[in-house]
Every structure is written in structure tokens, then in C-alpha cells.
Structure 1
């Protein structure tokens, strides 16, 4: 896949907007629901999955890079949340009749993600 300057600009613009939206939603959720649970992250992840689920058929998933996909999915939702792509890819595996790889994707992503967070925490001196 070749990404030109237009594609990079669209991803950057979408990422900036998505990141700002994530901050706003996270802060709003924390004000409304408190900071004792990551409500903001939960909210952006669920909303991101909903959005990519709606964008994919509208933009012709699966596809090669397009300006709309670069701006909205890669940039916007990439800045807003990272679980949206994971969810769409797992759904695609399932819809393709590949429940084994879909389950492996879920398990490996979750286990590796938590393990990587724990390793990063430990390497930064955060302890157990």
C-alpha cells in the first residue's frame, strides 16, 4: 500500500480531531460518572466500534486506502480509539466463517495488551 502526501495529511487531520474528541468524551464521562472506572475509555471504544461498523459498509469494506477511509477510520477513529479496528477485523474473521482465528485474535489481543501494559508499568518503575 502506497500512502501519498494527501493520505498522510488526511490521517493527520483525522487523528488530531479524533484525539480531541476522545479527550472531550473522556472528560465529560468522568464529570458525569466519576473517575473510579474508565468510563471515558469505555465510551470512546464502544462509540468507535459503532462508528467503524457503520463506516465500513458505507465506504465499501474491505478496501484499499481511500481518502474518506484515511480521514475517518484510520485518522479519526485511530485518534479516537484503537479498539475499533481490532473489533472490525475480528468481526470480519467471524463473518468469513473463521471463528477460530476470530477467537485467537480476541484472546491474543487482550492478553498481549494487558501483558504489554504490565511490562511497561514495570519497566517504568511502577512496581507490581
Structure 2
């Protein structure tokens, strides 16, 4: 039961943070067609999970800190379903290059961000 509460609380925090990121991006770039807020949340989340996993005390995926931070907060903060839907909407609205940039760019930059997070976390923990 404790683990479910940790994931629940973390997920709520992550979802609110994602909302704030998306709304903040929309206010900074009100005329943007590209979904910058979701893009930023996914890249920041990928970096953060890489950073966390590089910390020795965070590597146990059934531990309280991992369940709260990675599964909960980052699970609520990042979103594959919105990435997929935003890419589809870009395609429907004749923005095929932006759709491709969003889908492929999110995955490639996400992997690079996770790797960079691992590197930074490894240096920080040493």
C-alpha cells in the first residue's frame, strides 16, 4: 500500500508540473504551432530519469525514492500519449515536417538527454 501511495503522490506532482510547463510554453510562444511544452517536458524528464538512475541509491526500481521520483513524478510529468497525439494533429493540419520533427526529435533528443543525465549524475555522485 505504501508503494501505491508514493506513486500516486508523485504522479499528481508530476502532472501538475507538466501542466505548468505546457501552459508556460504556451504563454512564452503563443503563436507556436509546434508543441514546445510537451516537447520540453519529455526532454527534461528523460534527462532527469537518466540523472536519477546514475545515482547508486536510486537504481533499485522497487525502492521508495524510485517509485516516488521516477515512476510517480516523472511518469506524470512526461507523456508519450500526448507526444503521439500532437504529432498526429500536426500531420492532420498539414505540418508534416513538424510532425516528423516532434516524433523523431523527441525520441532522439530524449535518448541523448537520458545519456547526458546519466553522465551528469555519475559525475555528481562520484
TM-score normalised by L of structure 2: 0.59
- Ranges in structure 1 where 5+ consecutive residues have no aligned partner: 84-109, 119-128
Q: Which has the larger radius of gyration?
A: 1
Q: Which has the larger share of helix?
A: 2
Computed over aligned residues only, the root mean square deviation of the Cα atoms, in angstroms, reads: 2.6
Residues 13-52 of structure 1 correspond to what in structure 2 (within 5 A)? 13-34=9-30, 35-52=32-49
Structure with larger RCO (C-alpha < 8 A, sep 6+): 2
Residues 90-105 of structure 1 correspond to what in structure 2 (within 5 A)? none
**Aligned residue-pair number:** 85
2:63 maps to 1:66:
yes
2:52 maps to 1:55:
yes
TM-score normalised by L of structure 1: 0.58
- Ranges in structure 2 where 5+ consecutive residues have no aligned partner: 90-126
Q: 1:82 deviation in Å?
A: 3.8
Deviation beyond 2 Å, 4+ runs, structure 1: 59-64
